A and B are shown apart, each in its own frame.
Chain A
């Protein structure tokens, strides 16, 4: 079955370290997205990519970076510049080149040691 795979499910980071979250999809979707979810809040868009080798900042891009070298992969790096990185991170994708994700991964929970 096609879908989105995020790994790892749980991730721990020491302060001052960069960490990369993996997102792979085999749905042949053009667009991919990264969202951050905090307790009691809705999702906030970090970055999105509508096509390979192109991506745009979302609402909360500071302290994060992405790449889109392959259609099926959209890794997110949480840098040391992100002051409050503890959150649940969700990757998503969609068939159209618009803002509406149709499929989500199961998420990665990032915690700071």
Chain B
């Protein structure tokens, strides 16, 4: 079945550091890929998405590129801020099937 694997957390960085959170997936065909963010004590927010190979999703300085050849959708940001501290979830959906989430990666940014 479909599955999503994220890099193990927690991840701790200093402000203005470069961020990469790895995400790989297993699916037949061409799923849509998503990144969600969960700030402390809140629900999830859709951060960005990509629906076909080589698409780049972007929002709030975050980017992720749909790489079919490596089945990956890594999240990147060039300069993180303390306010980016949150849990990040990678997810996929395929056709009419439900959303499948990774286990989440907790990110902490220190000033």
Pick the interface stretch among A14-22, A68-76, A77-85, A102-110. A102-110
A112 close to B (CB within 8 Å): no
- Which DSSP category, helix, strand, loop or mixed, fits chain A's interface? loop
Residues of chain B with a CB closer than 8 A to A90's CB: 43-44
B43 and A45 contacting across the interface, CB-CB below 8 Å? no
Pick the interface stretch among B56-64, B76-84, B101-109. B101-109
Total count of chain A residues near the partner, CB < 8 A? 24
Bound Cα distance A1, B2 (Å): 36
Residues of chain A with a CB closer than 8 A to B98's CB: 45, 48, 58-59, 99
Residues of chain A with a CB closer than 8 A to B101's CB: 42-44
A16 CB, min distance to chain B CBs, angstroms? 29
* Segment 58-111 of B: residues with Cβ below 8 Å from A: 89, 91, 93, 96-104
- What are 14 contact pairs spanning A and B, CB under 8 A? A6-B43, A42-B89, A42-B102, A42-B103, A43-B89, A43-B99, A43-B101, A90-B44, A92-B43, A98-B96, A99-B96, A99-B99, A100-B93, A100-B99
